Structure 1
Amino acid sequence: MSDMSTLSRPRGRRLPAEVTGFVGRRHEVAEVKRLLSGAHVVTLTGAGGVGKTRLALRVAADVRRAFRNGVWLVELAALDKPELLVQTVAEALEIRDRSPRPPLKVLTDHLRDKQALMVLDNCEHLLQDCAVLAEKLVRAAPDLRVLVTSRQALGVDGEHTLTVPPLALPDSGLARPSTEALAQSDAVRLFAERAGAVLADFAVTDDNREAVEGICRRLDGLPLAIELAAVRLRALSVQQLLDRLDDRFRLLTSGSRAVLPRHQTLRALIDWSYALCTDQERALWERVSVFAGDLDLEAAETVCSGDGIASGEIVDLVIGLVDKSVLVREEYPSGVRYRLLETIRQYGRDRLRESGEEEDLRRRHRDWCQGLVARAEQEWFGPGQVRWFARLRGEHSNLRAALDFCLTARGEAERGLAVATAMRFYWIAAGFLHEGRCWLDPLLAADAAPTVSRARALCVNARLAVLQSDFAAAESMLEESRALAGRFDDAATLAQIMYVSGLSALVRQDLTRAATLLENAVDRHRELDDQVGVVNSLMYLATAHSFLGHSRRALTLFETCLGLCEARSEHWFRSYVLSVFAIEMWRQGDTARAIEMESESIRLKQPFNDRLGIALCVEVMAWIAAGKGDCECAAQLLGALRGIWRSVGGPLFGYLAEYHSQCEAVVRSALGVKRFDVALRKGAGLTFEGALACALREKASAGEQPEEADRPSPLTRRETEIAQLVAQGLSNKEIAASLVIAQRTAEGHIEHILSKLGFHSRAQVAVWVGERTRAPEEERPSEGDPGPAAPPAS
């Protein structure tokens, strides 16, 4: 006969006492409580060691007063026989039934009218049996709540799941936080607390803060890993611990014998997850470990299929690994991606190495990366440019892994040069000049064989060096590249060498020589029908003529270059053409058009987070403001630019420095030293976005935006013209005929108009045009404000 009084009183004391402090998880605790208020079954999923059990126990302790019949913990980790599941639950609830009734019947009868919370802990190895039990119990007992921890959801009707993330790490995107702020990060707090249990006087200090942060990052904020690591401080310093984390599975051995063997080391815990996978899932786990960071389904299908796994099977295996919390699923604007926590990835890599397949999989991963960057390079000059940039930015860690393989594996350096060379536009657009050289330099040193690949890599490396103003290194590399390209009759590389030489002369303010070299480069690229090379060379050729005072020639070249970019719906080169073309317009007195061009240039640069290019645009806006007499604004922009130039790692290109100096002198004279310094300091306090808002004359706070008709148009002059024709009801074909342009070009402009305005129909464009044209003419800014006389050309 069962003891029916067992659940008649609160049994919160049945939860184990917390012997160590509970750190962080405020958001997760609140979310689990919310879910329990409405769902009968709530499952906490996540990787082993992420803290699912601790979170469940904390929530259970917090809510125990809401369950008049108690909160009960059922620990299933030690249970190997599924047939004993119900019996184990009954024992945990202290039910003593000696009747011949089936255990499930006894259990459901006991819980039928009870208001209780049951915590089923570590269900993954008994998933199906736990799912059946939970479903039957909640159907029989409407006031029962079941809180489950598992590496995989149960999959029952009405189940709500919460994936438990690692502890929050310090925000790497912010400036270096104070030691006190760093210590407030959940991961750092946990490490500090556990370290304090080992060393009574431990604290995060200015001396150890970087090592502590490094440990927490290396361990992905994984609570179990952090706790196991902290124990090692009995024998190691914080820095020594960080230095030894590469061998984490040997090092992180639990000092406690009171826990199950599978929890005594991180390896044992992950071993258990591995054992729960099918043979194919294990193979995929091992294979995806060659990816650094994360990956998408296409990458997994390309790299990981074969040798027992068909490409079509990958998606189901990925789903299986996500369900088992081996792979973490993450949403991005570009789609779903998957990643392994570093500890789990390294475990998979160790298994892959043991199988003897590591080098082959790393080579396949490298081949996939090489194909990716080759396609990106081929399609860079076109409408997919922003998408390709975002894709490469997202794969940056994988690209690094591929380059590392080429650098460390015997005989792979030449392939590495091909990968790094194909990334030439990405290195520049992302601002990774230094990193590009850091890969190219050792790859070139690793294989000095005279090849076409070496000639091209030397030229790309020289280009990066020029953009860093490292002219001596650039000249040396160009010389060797020129010799090799001539030896192999590599016309494409010879054309690029001519371009880089011209760019070098331009940056060094040797304008006449720059114009000669860049003219030659344009001709060479045209002969090769290399449109990217033509545009790249034209852009700087026009710049050289502009600063030589050859305005008519510069205008022609700028217009030609813009036309080529617009025809291909290209962003990157077009943004730079516009920014420098605007300087020529300003020098000629067309201030309105200069502002329009700089504003458009900023818009085009923003998807690339091109701070160097945007800083150049803000510079020109400061010059324009000074010329129009708006010296307060100009001084603020100059102040903001001091910080911006520091953040991008350098000053203006030499051929623009004189304009900056003259602008500063004019503004200081107009304001006086005191007012100038105040405005300069105010500008220095602006955020990057605040500086942009100032440059673009936008209101900094919401709710102060001008009426639609008064807002600066985001459209270029040509786009405005086409928008007006759209408003008149003309078709794409009619617009093309009216403007004497190709229909495809007109269609491209209309796509840009819709994108810029955030519209999806031509009717919306017509309404927008109508609203703007209703503005009184006298309220609109003059298109012909010439501004002051331009300073002399460099």
Structure 2
Amino acid sequence: MATKRPDGNLPLELTSFVGRRHELAQARRLMTQARMLTLTGAGGVGKTRLALRVAADVRRAFRDGVWLVDIAPLSDGESLAPAVLDALGFLDESPQRPDSGLVELLESRQLLLLLDNCEHMPMAAAVLAGKLLGAAPGLRILATSREALGVEGECVFTVPPLALPGHGRSTASDEALTLFAERAAAVQPDFALGDDNEPAAELCRRLDGVPLAIELAAARVRVLSVAQILDRLDDRFRLLVNRRHTTVPRHRTLRAAIDWSYDLCDPAERALWARLSVFPGEFGLEAAEQVCSGGEIATEEVFDLLVGLLDKSILTRSERAGRARYRFLDNIRAYGHAILVDSGEEPELRRRHRDYLLGLARRARDEWFGPDQARWVTRLQHEKDDLRTALEFSLGEPGEAHAALEMVTSLWNYWLFAAGSFGEGRRLLTRALEAASEATPVRADALWVAAWFALRQGDVDAALPLLSECHDLARRLDHPGALTCATHFSGLAAHLRGEHREALALLLEARERYLADGDQAGGWMTLFHLAIVHSALGDHDQAASSAAECLAMCEGLSAYLSRSNALWVAGLSHWFQGAHDQAAALVKKGLDVMRRHDDRWGVAESLEVLAWIEAAHGREERAATLFGAAGMVWRSIGTVTPGLRPFTDFHNICQTRVRGALGASAYMSAFQRGAGLSLDQAVDYALDVDRGSSAERPQPSVLTPREQEVAELVAQGLSNKEIAARLVIAQRTAEGHVEHILTKLSLSSRVQIATWFTTHGR
């Protein structure tokens, strides 16, 4: 019997196909490499639409056509083979099993079979696909499924959401925004994107670029403005509904699309889905095991359940700093969160989540000044959304503010040196101090941290009462650590008041106490401040000695981020001795590391000193540009006159001299040019980096012999675990070596290490 249509049964497109240029090319390429390609992804992400377009694009390559089989309406696996026969236009008249007749029919044909919605019966689809591929050499299968089928030879391509518009630069060419605009215009003909597309762009971002969610939201433009739709997204499952009767049931509402995925999960996977919704963004396996185990889910079961959720496209996976990270699309997380709330487990899960982050903060505090410093910065940056969520929970829950106080205090180094801006840390600490007023050791520590935050912004008047209370409370509680820190930062406050002799005495006293307590981090920081105070007193030999000792401590403990700050203070001491070239070389050594780890304070201080050096060499235009760039970075931190910037009077004198040499107009032109640079551009300008020149690339001598060895193994494609086994070292040590290589070479990935080694490593 002949088929109904020789070229296939693909439906005509009723709406425009938006974007997906990269995905189309990738899918077509993969189809040339494998006889079966499965498109996976979350519900509503556009798997079917992409598959139909791919199938239409390759139709000419199949003599016997391209045929669509929708598995979703089928009730059991026995009906699958008959459904394929029916789609191909054949009657099931064979007395044999339908799949046997199907094999006989296809074995001499050259066609593409599109099996849509295989997650409805993955086992039956996999068995039939494997049998057909094994018997019909001219057959290709394109499948869509929320999970891979596991057929031998199957190639899997995960369909991502549509490309999202960037913040502040959305245009009508952005895929997600284009889809929204086209579908909105279909229901409201006068709808059009204008000069301000940010509300629509934000809506697309909130919906994660998921086509189904965007189309459902666009349908609401008929009755609501874009701003109103945004305001109502917290109730997205009621809002995003399609009442067209022609729409397949699972696509009529956002909830129905996710219900379909929920039904695919077993009870334990559903429970973990709900519990994982406590994470606001990405999370790691360790976090999932510690926060979400308990009750019906044992800790050792979390891994397998995570795999199940990944297989079903409930979770997505990425890799950060060599570690796997997982996340939900926001719609899927919101669905799980609703289930968590209904279960009554939410308060306990939020507390466990907070306790996990508090433990992380304590570990970061204890391990900060040492070889794991760069790794901690990277990890805490990845956990920043979780930190904020945990802090807000603690500050909003009665009786929990003490945990917020300890968390912010433990992370004082992170807020100051790695977060880009410590304004958030200062605000959170102020709230926590107000909410947790009990006289505890944690409060005593929080008081000196709050004073340090104030001093960083030059707010001596705010710092002094905090230090006074810290002194009193530390004595009353017999807390020598807090007392030492109060003495230390009282010395810094005296320096900022211009009382340098008093500052020197207090800093020396604090240093002796730190040494007696074995506090390496405290000892390092007092050396840093002593170098500045000695310079202010004109004692340049002592300043140079303190700076050199400060640098030696960092190198001895492999604290490479603190080393960049030590290089700056060493450069400063050389500047005041008149050794300008040596000063510039030292400051520039640390500048790129500061940039890579978002130490904006350090970047701004470095640009400032480099501006002085350029002025001393008579390069006034470059000096003015660097002054403008430094000001830009200070403003990004949230301060204009930074408290720790040394010798503000000298800055003013230098700036006045440069302005006088250039003239007001030329000075402002150069200054504004610097102020208009991005942080990366400012650092490149200061370092005279030509991004296209290999001359600026780091040379292999910057690595130790062991790091050179590790870099070679990374270039060979070995994982950290394999490197550890090869070198007979702990995996954590191998991870530390990789992080140090990334830091020293100012790289951001293992691929870049491999590229660098190929060029420079032999």
Q: TM-score normalised to the size of structure 2?
A: 0.87
| In structure 2, C-alpha distance between the alignment counterparts of 1:299 and 1:548, rounded to whole Å | 50
* Offset, 1:675: 6.0
| In structure 1, C-alpha distance between the alignment counterparts of 2:38 and 2:742, rounded to whole Å | 44
Query: Which of 515-524 and 99-108 deviates more?
Result: 515-524
Query: Which of 224-233 and 652-661 deviates more?
Result: 652-661
- Residues 422 and 637 of structure 2 are in contact (CA less than 8 Å); yes or no, is this contact kept in structure 1? no
Pairing partner for 1:64 from 56, 59, 68: 59
Which residue of structure 2 aligns with residue 10 of structure 1? 7
Which residue of structure 1 aligns with residue 452 of structure 2? 463
- Residues 68 and 87 of structure 2 are in contact (CA less than 8 Å); yes or no, is this contact kept in structure 1? yes
Q: How many residues align?
A: 723
2:433 is the counterpart of 1:438: no
2:492 is the counterpart of 1:503: yes
Which residue of structure 2 aligns with residue 34 of structure 1? 29
| In structure 2, C-alpha distance between the alignment counterparts of 1:437 and 1:679, rounded to whole Å | 33
2:474 is the counterpart of 1:485: yes
- 1:349-381 CA-to-partner distances (Å, cap 9, x unmatched) read 221222221211221111111111111100001
| In structure 2, C-alpha distance between the alignment counterparts of 1:714 and 1:631, rounded to whole Å | 34
Pairing partner for 2:81 from 83, 86, 89: 86
* Offset, 1:527: 3.9
Which residue of structure 1 aligns with residue 172 of structure 2? 183
- Residues 369 and 399 of structure 1 are in contact (CA less than 8 Å); yes or no, is this contact kept in structure 2? yes
Distance 1:471 1:24, change over 3 A: farther
Pairing partner for 2:580 from 578, 584, 591: 591
| In structure 1, C-alpha distance between the alignment counterparts of 2:431 and 2:72, rounded to whole Å | 50
SS in 2 for 1:154: coil
Which residue of structure 1 aligns with residue 204 of structure 2? 216
Which residue of structure 2 aligns with residue 349 of structure 1? 337
- Residues 362 and 405 of structure 1 are in contact (CA less than 8 Å); yes or no, is this contact kept in structure 2? yes
2:174 is the counterpart of 1:195: no
| In structure 1, C-alpha distance between the alignment counterparts of 2:493 and 2:635, rounded to whole Å | 22
- 1:143-172 CA-to-partner distances (Å, cap 9, x unmatched) read 222111101011111111111111111234
| In structure 2, C-alpha distance between the alignment counterparts of 1:692 and 1:404, rounded to whole Å | 35
* Offset, 1:585: 0.7
Distance 1:509 1:82, change over 3 A: farther
- 1:487-540 CA-to-partner distances (Å, cap 9, x unmatched) read 322222222223333334444555444334433432343343322122222211
* Offset, 1:582: 1.1
Query: Which of 91-100 and 651-660 deviates more?
Result: 651-660
RMSD of aligned residue pairs (Cα, Å) = 3.3
2:355 is the counterpart of 1:358: no
1:335-484 mapped onto 2 (5 Å cutoff)? 335-429=323-417, 430-484=419-473
Which residue of structure 1 aligns with residue 566 of structure 2? 577
* Offset, 1:669: 4.9
SS in 1 for 2:290: helix
Query: Which of 424-433 and 660-669 deviates more?
Result: 660-669
- 1:641-667 CA-to-partner distances (Å, cap 9, x unmatched) read 444444344346453433433434444
Pairing partner for 2:263 from 275, 287, 290: 275
Which residue of structure 1 aligns with residue 692 of structure 2? 701
- 1:89-110 CA-to-partner distances (Å, cap 9, x unmatched) read 1112221243423311332233
2:106 is the counterpart of 1:132: no
Which residue of structure 2 aligns with residue 660 of structure 1? 651
Distance 1:689 1:416, change over 3 A: closer
* Offset, 1:260: 3.3
Which residue of structure 2 aligns with residue 333 of structure 1? 321
Distance 1:467 1:675, change over 3 A: closer
| In structure 2, C-alpha distance between the alignment counterparts of 1:247 and 1:535, rounded to whole Å | 52
Unaligned runs of 5+ in 2: 709-735, 751-755
- Residues 436 and 461 of structure 1 are in contact (CA less than 8 Å); yes or no, is this contact kept in structure 2? no
| In structure 2, C-alpha distance between the alignment counterparts of 1:387 and 1:39, rounded to whole Å | 40
| In structure 2, C-alpha distance between the alignment counterparts of 1:226 and 1:104, rounded to whole Å | 39
Which residue of structure 2 aligns with residue 776 of structure 1? none
Which residue of structure 2 aligns with residue 549 of structure 1? 538
Query: Which of 325-334 and 441-450 deviates more?
Result: 441-450
* Offset, 1:681: 6.0
Which residue of structure 1 aligns with residue 245 of structure 2? 257
Alignment-mate amino acid for residue 85 of structure 1? L
Query: Which of 142-151 and 651-660 deviates more?
Result: 651-660
Distance 1:330 1:556, change over 3 A: same
2:608 is the counterpart of 1:619: yes
Which residue of structure 2 aligns with residue 735 of structure 1? none
| In structure 2, C-alpha distance between the alignment counterparts of 1:749 and 1:591, rounded to whole Å | 33
2:202 is the counterpart of 1:205: no
- Residues 40 and 148 of structure 2 are in contact (CA less than 8 Å); yes or no, is this contact kept in structure 1? yes
* Offset, 1:671: 5.2
1:672-711 mapped onto 2 (5 Å cutoff)? 680=671, 683=674, 687-702=678-693, 705=695
| In structure 2, C-alpha distance between the alignment counterparts of 1:326 and 1:750, rounded to whole Å | 32
Unaligned runs of 5+ in 1: 724-747, 772-794
Which residue of structure 2 aligns with residue 786 of structure 1? none
* Offset, 1:39: 1.5
Which residue of structure 2 aligns with residue 143 of structure 1? 138
| In structure 2, C-alpha distance between the alignment counterparts of 1:171 and 1:616, rounded to whole Å | 30
Alignment-mate amino acid for residue 617 of structure 1? S
| In structure 1, C-alpha distance between the alignment counterparts of 2:739 and 2:20, rounded to whole Å | 45
| In structure 1, C-alpha distance between the alignment counterparts of 2:435 and 2:381, rounded to whole Å | 26
| In structure 1, C-alpha distance between the alignment counterparts of 2:386 and 2:223, rounded to whole Å | 36
Alignment-mate amino acid for residue 212 of structure 2? L
| In structure 1, C-alpha distance between the alignment counterparts of 2:421 and 2:631, rounded to whole Å | 21
Alignment-mate amino acid for residue 10 of structure 1? D
| In structure 2, C-alpha distance between the alignment counterparts of 1:577 and 1:669, rounded to whole Å | 33
Q: TM-score normalised to the size of structure 1?
A: 0.84
* Offset, 1:635: 4.1
Pairing partner for 2:68 from 64, 69, 73: 73
* Offset, 1:131: 0.7
Distance 1:355 1:564, change over 3 A: same
- Residues 187 and 223 of structure 1 are in contact (CA less than 8 Å); yes or no, is this contact kept in structure 2? yes
2:251 is the counterpart of 1:266: no
* Offset, 1:714: 7.6
* Offset, 1:226: 1.4
| In structure 2, C-alpha distance between the alignment counterparts of 1:257 and 1:329, rounded to whole Å | 36
- Residues 699 and 760 of structure 2 are in contact (CA less than 8 Å); yes or no, is this contact kept in structure 1? no
Alignment-mate amino acid for residue 362 of structure 1? R
| In structure 1, C-alpha distance between the alignment counterparts of 2:408 and 2:510, rounded to whole Å | 23
1:510-529 mapped onto 2 (5 Å cutoff)? 510-529=499-518
Q: Percent identity?
A: 47
- 1:701-758 CA-to-partner distances (Å, cap 9, x unmatched) read 325x28x9xx999869xx99xx9xxxxxxxxxxxxxxxxxxxxxxxx99997998479
Alignment-mate amino acid for residue 344 of structure 2? G
From the CA coordinates, give the structure whose radius of gyration is larger: 1
Query: Which of 471-480 and 38-47 deviates more?
Result: 471-480
| In structure 2, C-alpha distance between the alignment counterparts of 1:753 and 1:401, rounded to whole Å | 32
Pairing partner for 1:565 from 554, 559, 563: 554
